[in-house]
Amino acid sequence: MASFTAKDVKALREQTGCGMMDCKKALVEADGDMEKAVDFLREQGLAKQAKKASRVAAEGMAFAMTTEDHKKGVVIEVNAETDFVAKNADFQAFVNTCAQTVIDNNPADVEALLACNASGTDKTVAELLQEKVLVIGENIQIRRFKLMEGACVAYVHAGGVIGVLVNFKTDLADKPEFVTYGKDVAMQIAALNTPYLKESDVPAEVLEHEKEIMKAEVVNSGKPEAIADKIVMGKIGKFYKENCLLDQAFVKENKISVQQYTNNTAKELGGSIEITEFVRFEKGEGIEKREDDFAAEVAAMTK
């Protein structure tokens, strides 16, 4: 039995940045020898991977795909450090594999996905990720994903800047015309970044906040407060048109709304269509990117 303590595991973690179980395994393999344990982690590529994992990954790509019958789909974001890597065919293939693995296994979260056997390979997603980090040479992180079942249409904008997945309740999923319609809706979501599907989805507190701002604007413009509420009700209609997908003007034919476009398409195809849900991922959104101050770096080096 190898001789080492919990403090040794902690010390190895701090030195290498590797996970607790990896450090414990390394100490077992090295019979408690700290230097040999570090060498073991380096040989396994784990120390190198852990070092890269501390670097900010705000680039990469958002990706969306469906099964051939459009009855299941996924949208996923995988981040890397540079935009250059997002154009790498090996990285793109890894993202595709991750998406397919989600469809095949329906994992609960990213941690569960990492433990899944990667579709089409004999490795786990975590092992495949480690391999890509070492080969590509950047920190790569699977950030998030969303799986949908039922009629789905996927759209990827600008090679992975935005990924959109739209879910429908319909009896027309097998028709090519439905997929064309679905792409139109997904493109609209990508372009306008709509926060809500329909009016009832707007939280009451958001609506009340908007009404307060609108009323203050009306009163400050010199209008009598007695008619301010009536004016605000008219403005709320405009708010819905700007923030609710179904109320928005359809970008390809702005004289009709997305709901009207949906109704027209369903009628033309002889069936029914209801948009039930959508998800839009934009790569790097919400991640604080590192800003290099070259002048400050040079100044620090010369001190």
Cα separation, 224 vs 202, in Å, equals 28
**Phi and psi, residue 244, nearest 5°:** -115, 125
pLDDT at 43 over 50: yes
Kindly state the average pLDDT of the residues 181-206: 97
Is 138 within 8 Å of 57 (Cβ atoms)? yes
Instruction: Average the pLDDT over each of 108-117, 209-218, 274-283 and give the range with the smallest value.
Output: 209-218
Residue 39 pLDDT class (50, 70, 90 cuts): confident
Q: What is the pLDDT of residues 148-189, one digit of tens each?
A: 999 999 999 999 999 999 999 999 999 999 999 999 999 999
Residue 274 parent element (H or E):
strand 273-282
Residue 35 pLDDT class (50, 70, 90 cuts): confident
Please, what is the average pLDDT of the chain? 88
- pLDDT for 20 equals 76
- pLDDT for 297 equals 47
Query: What letters, b where the CB count within 10 A reaches 16 and e where it falls short, cover 221-251?
Result: eeeeeeebeebbeeeeeebbeebbbbbbbbe
Cα separation, 210 vs 224, in Å, equals 19
Residue 50 pLDDT class (50, 70, 90 cuts): low
CATH of span 6-53: 1.10.8.10
- pLDDT for 170 equals 98
Residue 7 CA: distances (Å) to CA of 3, 12, 13, 31, 47:
12, 9, 10, 15, 19
pLDDT at 194 over 60: yes
Residue 272 pLDDT class (50, 70, 90 cuts): very high
Cα separation, 40 vs 44, in Å, equals 6
Cα separation, 142 vs 92, in Å, equals 13
Give helix 125-136 / helix 46-53 axis angle, nearest 10°.
80
Domain boundaries, the chain: 6-53, 61-190+275-282, 199-271
Kindly state the average pLDDT of the residues 228-256: 93
Question: CB neighbours of 163 closer than 8 A, spacing ≥ 6?
Answer: 61, 62, 63, 64, 75, 76, 77, 154, 155, 156, 157, 280, 281
Q: Can you name the CATH fold of 61-190+275-282?
A: Tetrahydropterin Synthase; Chain A (3.30.479)
CATH of span 199-271: 1.10.286.20
Kindly state the average pLDDT of the residues 258-287: 97
Contacts made by residues 112-119, CB under 8 angstroms, sequence distance 24+: 113/142, 113/145, 114/142
Q: Would you give the DSSP letter of residue 118?
A: P
- Dig out the tokens for 101 from the structure: 């693995």
Q: Would you give the DSSP letter of residue 247?
A: G
